[in-house]
């Protein structure tokens, strides 16, 4: 568990930026001077901070019979260490810091990484977010609480957890009482997660696929399945965990494998969110034409039928009507409280 002396905590965690291994890419760059795979400096940039009403009902407060959900106090951070070809938030996941002091690491970088960084540079036109200090971020958390948020929901936060942990400590010292949700791709370092023990109340990771070839083709990470499995095990060890699985068009068999693995491994200790909302956005349609459509009702029904057949009862199932671009936040319209 991380220490709760704010000043000491800031010092210890800040040191993690100097030889960055905050995620499984293990770039070992000094984030004050160079960029790693994620393209993020040590500066926190956020794309959006607002109440969000389309998370799982227990997080947003939205459910049948509730007309005025309070919403999840969601903070979207810029950048990502995966940048999946079909990313539903591609406008922000492709962001690469543009400060001239921060150069992409090219020495020892493989071709795939270089390609991802140049692909990312093109994405910077869509949304560059806003830089915030630790103090400003703590203020945003408190403002979300004042707005009635049910929780603080950190979306793709791993790159900045040293500073975000400090912002949470600071906000708590000023009255933040809300539970903290850690919303993640699942591609996380177990060692970094151990530093969050006691700080996070609900983990909300994806488990995208178990097939290494799919991890390589769609997420630039052949090790995605093994890394995500270990990360989820650590999350479940620590606290309440909801695992999301987004059903992709043409990949029903893989979805069934994922659900079987989760149920066999964790049973009812986790909740599973079976998501139907895949929408073809971003560059996936050019590189992977099979992803250039929404999933069919039959595909989703086959996945849900499998979940029922193997005995999963602790699950969220989505109305396919949510598969609309309007349910993806408009990141180019910067909305920060």
Closest CA to 155 of 32, 295, 5, 331: 331
Q: Rounded CA gap, 47 and 35, in Å? A: 19
Residue 162 Cβ vs ligand SF4, minimum distance, rounded to whole Å:
10
Q: By rule CB under 6 A, what string of x and - marks binding of each residue 70-109 to ligand SF4? A: -----------x----------------------------
Residue 16 Cβ vs ligand SF4, minimum distance, rounded to whole Å:
9
Contacts with ligand SF4 in 118-177 (CB under 6 A)? 159
Can residue 20 be called a binding residue for ligand SF4 (CB under 6 A)? yes
Stretch that binds ligand SF4, among 21-29, 170-178, 202-210, 256-264 (CB under 6 A): 21-29
Can residue 36 be called a binding residue for ligand SF4 (CB under 6 A)? yes
Size of the site for ligand SF4 (CB under 6 A): 14
Q: Which one of residues 13, 23, 218, 252 is an interface residue with ligand SF4 (CB under 6 A)?
A: 23
Can residue 116 be called a binding residue for ligand SF4 (CB under 6 A)? no
Closest CA to 185 of 215, 165, 212: 215
Residue 161 exposure: Cα atoms within 13 Å on the Cβ side: 27
Can residue 21 be called a binding residue for ligand SF4 (CB under 6 A)? yes
Can residue 317 be called a binding residue for ligand SF4 (CB under 6 A)? no
CA 298 to chain centre: 28
- DSSP assignment of 81-150 equals SS--TT-TTHHHHT-----TT-EEP-TT--HHHHHHHHHHHHHTTT---EEE-HHHHHHHHHHHHHTT-S
Can residue 38 be called a binding residue for ligand SF4 (CB under 6 A)? yes
Stretch that binds ligand SF4, among 35-43, 122-130, 226-234, 267-275 (CB under 6 A): 35-43
Stretch that binds ligand SF4, among 26-34, 56-64, 234-242, 305-313 (CB under 6 A): 26-34
Stretch that binds ligand SF4, among 15-23, 54-62, 162-170, 320-328 (CB under 6 A): 15-23
Stretch that binds ligand SF4, among 36-44, 92-100, 108-116, 254-262 (CB under 6 A): 36-44
Residues 6+ apart with CB under 8 A from 269: 236, 241
Stretch that binds ligand SF4, among 18-26, 42-50, 112-120, 299-307 (CB under 6 A): 18-26
Q: Which one of residues 13, 29, 84, 214 is an interface residue with ligand SF4 (CB under 6 A)?
A: 29
Write b or e for each residue in 139-169: b if 16 or more Cβ atoms lie within 10 A of its Cβ, otherwise e: bbbbebbeeebbbbbbbbbbbbbbbbbbbbb
Identity of the residue, 17 or 300, whose beta carbon is nearer to ligand SF4 in the bound complex: 17
Identity of the residue, 38 or 75, whose beta carbon is nearer to ligand SF4 in the bound complex: 38
Residues 6+ apart with CB under 8 A from 124: 94, 95, 96, 98
Query: Which residue minimizes CB distance to ligand SF4?
Result: 36
Residue 222 Cβ vs ligand SF4, minimum distance, rounded to whole Å:
16
CA distances from 98 to 38, 45, 221, 247 (A): 13, 12, 25, 34
| Signed CA dihedral, 82, 83, 88, 91: sign only | positive
Q: 3-state SS of the chain: helix, strand, coil percent to 5?
A: 40, 15, 45
- Phi/psi for 130 (5° steps) reads -135, 135
Site for ligand SF4, rule CB under 6 A: 20-23, 25-27, 29, 36-38, 40, 81, 159
């Amino acid at each position: 568990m991380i220490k709760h002396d704010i000043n000491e905590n800031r010092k210890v965690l800040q040191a993690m930026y100097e030889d960055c291994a905050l995620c499984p890419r293990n770039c070992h760059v000094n984030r004050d001077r160079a960029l790693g795979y994620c393209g993020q400096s040590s500066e926190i940039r956020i794309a959006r901070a607002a109440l969000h009403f389309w998370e799982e009902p227990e997080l947003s407060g939205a459910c049948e019979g509730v007309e005025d959900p309070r919403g999840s106090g969601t903070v979207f951070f810029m950048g990502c260490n995966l940048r999946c070809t079909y990313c539903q938030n591609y406008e922000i996941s492709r962001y690469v810091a543009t400060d001239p002091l921060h150069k992409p690491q090219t020495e020892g970088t493989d071709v795939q990484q270089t390609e991802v960084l140049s692909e990312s540079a093109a994405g910077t036109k869509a949304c560059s977010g806003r830089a915030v200090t630790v103090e400003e971020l703590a203020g945003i958390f408190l403002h979300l609480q004042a707005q009635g948020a049910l929780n603080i929901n950190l979306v793709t936060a791993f790159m900045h957890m040293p500073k975000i942990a400090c912002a949470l400590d600071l906000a708590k010292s000023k009255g933040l009482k809300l539970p903290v949700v850690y919303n993640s791709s699942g591609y996380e370092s177990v060692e970094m997660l151990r530093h969050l023990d006691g700080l996070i109340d609900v983990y909300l990771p994806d488990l995208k696929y178990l097939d290494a070839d799919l991890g390589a083709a769609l997420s630039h990470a052949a090790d995605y399945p093994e890394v995500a499995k270990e990360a989820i095990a650590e999350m479940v060890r620590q606290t309440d965990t909801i695992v999301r699985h987004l059903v992709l068009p043409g990949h029903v068999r893989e979805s069934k494998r994922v659900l079987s693995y989760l149920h066999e491994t964790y049973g009812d200790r986790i909740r599973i969110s079976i998501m139907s909302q895949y929408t073809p956005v971003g560059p996936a349609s050019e590189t992977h034409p099979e992803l250039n459509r929404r999933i069919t009702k039959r595909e989703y029904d086959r996945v849900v039928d499998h979940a029922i057949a193997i005995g999963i009862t602790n699950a969220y199932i989505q109305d396919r009507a949510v598969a609309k671009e309007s349910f993806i936040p408009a990141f180019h319209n910067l909305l920060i409280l």
